[in-house]
Structure 1
Amino acid sequence: MDKQQEFVLRTIEERGVKFIRLWFTDVAGTLKSVAVAPAEVEGAFAEGIGFDGSAIEGLARTSEADMLAMPDPSTFQILPWRGTVDPAARMFCDIATPDGKPANADPRNVLRRALDKAAKMGFSFYVHPEIEFYLLKGTELGPDGQPVPVDNAGYFDNVPGGTAHDFRRRAVTMLEQLGISVEFSHHEGGPGQNEIDLRYADALSMADNIMTFRTVIKEVAIEQGVYATFMPKPFTNHPGSGMHTHFSLFEGDRNAFFDAAAPYHLSIVARQFIAGILKHAPELTLVTNQYVNSYKRLWGGGEAPSYVSWGHNNRSALIRVPLHKPEKSQSTRIEYRAMDSAANPYLAYALLLSAGLKGIEEGYELGAETEDDVWSLSDMERRAMGIESLPQSLDHAIRKLETSDLAAEVLGESVFSYVLANKRNEWAQYRSQVTPFEIEQNLRTL
């Protein structure tokens, strides 16, 4: 038994923890949980906890049903919302087959494989997400058929006595109790819309943190009598909720994206990484934006990127190179702006990292930056500049992913096939619906 496992067992005993929740994420990005008693934890470390993998979205076929959840002791945390009476804790798990091998369809393992490839190239991968969400008075719709936000405030607004202040303070406190560092929190542009930015961390830890973050936000909302949603576009006339994510590669302690003599201090490695993501972004969008509703955000305005371009501090570009202090080489990074806050972070980060690494491996050339507001250009102007669009619907994104050799390789056969099958089913269900828009437009005129 290693020292981390011993620490977990000792803490459970000293803190009187009564329940330990073993967490993992299915291919669709839903958090799964099984609670075990303290007496079972030592055995779980040694042998795992068996479960029926075929009952979990995308994890295994019926013929391969037996799976093991192997708890990762480095992720042990007491859950602050459970209080001090019969306290509970959690650990994330890696999923294994009965012979102890990592399960190919475990999203955590998909990301770990991509990180292992980066490590073989000499890189570690760090991410810093800006996570947006809406706070609503409940799930019931208002008289206008729209959700009802908790306030009518806007970007960076200070609302004395407002729900959002208390909510963010409680949420940030709870996140930090879980060991998740928060950099900023503020009101976003939509009514009831908020953003909390997590301090950068390695990609695997951050993916775990994002899954924990969503749970914390939901729990705090319940506690405060409101409802939190990560739906990409809950309002027709207000901005969608994105998860802009900053990326950087390090070689040891050195930022591989920094070159003091280069324009914007972007090294050749950084430029090739950007070129890799830009080249492959359309075929990966089904994973970074995985719902029908995701495309209402991408094509509904509100600063969501719709076109494949990059720019220095250009917020209409898919990839933005933020301003930073020239003397701070460690802060050189890029920001990917398409991903929404409902994505499966393990799969999304694995694919974006792999696209960037492919750009480095194959020496992709980065085209000219886009200084114009891409949204304001005409289709003809964009074509002349060689600016491609992202998929315009879930169906379009499915067809793009189907042709992606990169995604098939990174995700593995089982995850790749499941994602496509799952999303084809969602599109078929959506396509068969008669919407209020159609009734309003056509019922009285046709």
Structure 2
Amino acid sequence: MQEDEGFYLERLKADKIDFLQIQFTDITGHLKSLTVPKNRFEDVLYDGITFDGSSIPGFKPIENSDMKAMPDLSTYTIISQNSLGKTARFISKIFNPDGTRFDGDPRYVLERQIDRLKKENKHFYIGPEIEYFIFKRDDKNRPTVIPSDQGVYFDKNTDSSILLKEEIVKRLEDIDYYPEASHHEVAPGQHEIDVKYADAITMADRLIVIKSIVKDVAAKHGYYATFMPKPIKGINGSGMHVHQSIFNGDNNAFYDENNRYGLSKYALSYIAGILKNIKGASPILAPLVNSYKRLVPGYEAPVYICWANRNRSALVRVPAPSGKAKRIELRFPDSTGNHYLQFAVMLGMGLDGIENKAEIPDPVERNVFEMPLNERAELGIETMPGSLGEAIKEMERSETIKEILGEHIFENYIKLKRMEWEDYTTYVTDWEINRYLEVY
């Protein structure tokens, strides 16, 4: 037996683990998990576990469906403890029967983009701001869209979820996920949690657990937590602002105190690559029909393709810190997507800008939401897709996004999202019934 497997077998015994969950995501980001009892720990750590890939949309056809999940031992995390025992998880890598990596494994897509940086001894770091709503349940314990409180940004006295959020922070601290802050957001019942930056793969792995903990703790307190981007009309929606930086050893590749705005030429080309390719990435970054109901002017959600220093109405923002803390913030995504694919396209778009020496426009330091249409046109500020249907068309045209994702995920992702969009466009809503039924 290899040394690593032996070490983790001993660790499972020392931690008194009763169950293992071997986890991965499908291409749209839904978590898949296989639960393994104690008597199978050694077999699974050493040889993985086989499963039917044809039962997972976008994976494998039925005539060639055998797949293997091999645990990545570095992802070991204790995720729960209850009367039945203690459960730990490993994120897995997905393999074909011949031992090759499966092209449709979203984690593999991110690994390939990271490998582009490793050749230059650089590392990609991510720090997300994760927004979510806490809603009340009805007398039958079903979720409602009634906010848990009527608080606003940074409120404390009207925030009835303080203890709930403190428990979330404590549970994240217990598994060394380094939460940095938790606070009330702008809308009633809306909250944000920020976690310390980590390399992109580690952060994508962690977000699976973070969202699960938020939901579990809310349920324990009698509420319901959701990351749905726009559950209520007329108030702010929930996004996931993603802070990004690239380091070469201890040197921040994005920082140059002698260059414009304190940004290196490398960083400026990186931002230019994102602006150039962002439309084609929109179904990955904002993946739901509902995502585009958040992305409308007037609710602090960026819809115009521009960048700025500090200005929060821009799609890409450069926060104030300098030196090692210099970074960029992409404000368009939400947290309902596949985080491996989201981080992969962010990095891939930026590297495309660097490799092709993309020219960056001047920053826009005014409130773009209040800017007249003709002025935006004069400045060359384009608008992001206004619906999932428009976003799919942009993605279909993007050779850059296709190259980043690989043909398998690119084609299957578009297929699944087109089905979702077509299902939505043929669905008769309550709004239509209320507006038209008695009038016509």
Please, what TM-score do these two structures have when normalized by structure 1?
Answer: 0.95
Aligned residue in 2 for 1:62: 62
2:372 pairs with 1:374: no
Aligned residue for 2:186? 189
Residue segments in structure 2 that go unaligned for 5+ positions in a row: none
Q: Residues of 1 paired with 2:187 and 2:393: CA distance?
A: 32
Match of residue 431 from structure 2: 437
Q: Which digits, 9 at most, give the CA deviation of each residue in 1:28-57, with x for residues without a partner?
A: 101111111223222223221000011112
Partner of 2:154: 156
Question: What is the CA distance between 1:226 and its match in structure 2?
Answer: 0.7
Distance 1:235 1:65 in 2: 41
SS at the partner of 1:257? coil
Relative distance call for 1:123 and 1:132 in structure 2 (3 A) is: same
Match in the other structure for 1:301: 298
Q: 1:381 to 1:356 in 2, by over 3 A?
A: same
Q: Say if 1:420 and 1:140 are closer, same or farther in 2 by CA, change over 3 A.
A: farther
Give the partner amino acid of 1:304: A
Q: 1:274-305: CA deviations, max 9, x gaps?
A: 00000000110010000000000011531000
Which residue number corresponds to residue 285 of structure 2? Answer: 288
| 1:139 shift after superposition | 7.4
Structure 2 counterpart of 1:340: 334
Equivalent residue runs for 1:113-132 within 5 Å: 113-132=112-131
Query: What are the within-5 Å matches in structure 2 for residues 24-173 of structure 1?
Result: 24-79=24-79, 81-83=80-82, 86-138=85-137, 147-159=145-157, 162-173=159-170
Which deviations, in whole Å up to 9, do the C-alpha atoms of 1:160-186 show, x marking residues without a partner? 6x5411111111111122221111110
**Contact kept? 1:164, 1:194, Cα under 8 Å:** no
Identity of aligned residues (%): 41
CA contact (8 A) 1:140 1:147 kept: no
Which is worse superposed, 90-99 or 33-42? Answer: 33-42
Give 3-state SS (helix, strand or coil) of 1:82's partner: strand
Structure-2 separation of matches of 1:330 and 1:263: 16
Q: Distance in 1 between matches of 2:3 and 2:328?
A: 37
Give the one of 329, 352, 363 matched to 2:357: 363
Of the three residues 181, 197, 200, the one matched with 2:197 is 200
3-state SS of 2:70 partner: strand
Distance 1:106 1:367 in 2: 35
Determine helix, strand or coil for the equivalent of 1:134: strand
1:221 aligns with 2:221: no
- Give how far 1:403 is off: 0.6
**Aligned mates of 1:433, 1:146 — CA distance in 2:** 22
The C-alpha deviation readout for 1:365-405, integer Å capped at 9, x for no partner, is 11110011111112211111100111000110000000111
2-side partners of 1:19 and 1:159: how far apart? 41
Distance in 2 between residues matched to 1:15 and 1:284, nearest whole Å: 42
Give the drift of 1:138. 2.6
Aligned positions, number: 438
2:89 alignment partner AA: R
Distance 1:85 1:264 in 2: 56
Where in structure 1 are there 5+ consecutive unaligned residues? none
Change (3 A) 1:415 1:202: same
**Deviations, residues 199-256 of structure 1 (Å, cap 9, x unaligned):** 0000000000111111111111221111010101001011110000000011122100
Q: CA–CA distance in 2 between the matches of 1:227 and 1:92?
A: 26
- What's the RMSD between the two structures over aligned residues? 1.7
